[in-house]
Amino acid sequence: MDIYKVGDKSKALCSFCKAITETTFRVRTVPLSSGKGRVEGVLAGVCDRCDRVLSIPQQSVPRIKEQIGTKRHSLEARIPQHLSDILNLACHQIGANSASEFQAILIKYYIRRILEASLAKKIHKLLESELSSGKSDSRISLKIDDAMYETLVIALERLDLNQSELLRVIAVLVKHEILDEEDEEAVEDLKKMATVA
């Protein structure tokens, strides 16, 4: 398989110029053939005469497939400000460069963990704790893929919670396990994630 770089040259049949023309590989936003969307950051062969995309090298296909196949779901909820602060403080304590970006990773990590039998038993006790209470004046919003969305739906159904209650529980768990350092394994897992995030 040939791998092309930005600036490499090739030739292609241009239906607009009605000729075989020189092309230069450039990064472009490419419309999908269905007409329903565009994919940014695609390396494409661009006609040197009319500046239209004429070809897509094989190396760019996975980026396009990812865009087509990935459905994003919203996870949105309101929680008390002090719980939002707990999530941000934990991100900082873990060593994340950007608390706002790592917060999504932290929440996803706990959505998966919360289904563990040992944690599932504690959920309603955590939700009823003093720490979990308060006016929900802080908004949490993140995008999740299909697989994480399925895990979220399972967690909500199995634990009989709504999204806001789930995020409250996660924040209280984060306080105990990360800030109070009650779960060294979780702290180490998250520190490893922070180094690559």
Write the pLDDT tens digit of every residue in 151-196: 999 999 999 999 999 999 999 999 999 999 888 888 888 988 888 7
% residues pLDDT > 70 (the chain): 97
pTM: 0.66
Here the tokens at position 158 are 């199995």
* Angle between helix 99-113 and 146-159 (nearest 10): 50
Residue 2 pLDDT greater than 70, yes or no: yes
Each residue of 6-43: b (16+ CB within 10 Å) or e? Answer: eeeeeeeebeeeeeebebebeebebeeeeeeeebeebb
Domain boundaries, the chain: 9-69, 73-196
- At the second CATH level, the architecture of 9-69 is Roll (3.10)
pLDDT for the residue 73: 85
The per-residue pLDDT for range 47-84, each reduced to its tens digit, is 999 999 999 999 998 888 877 766 678 899 999 999 99
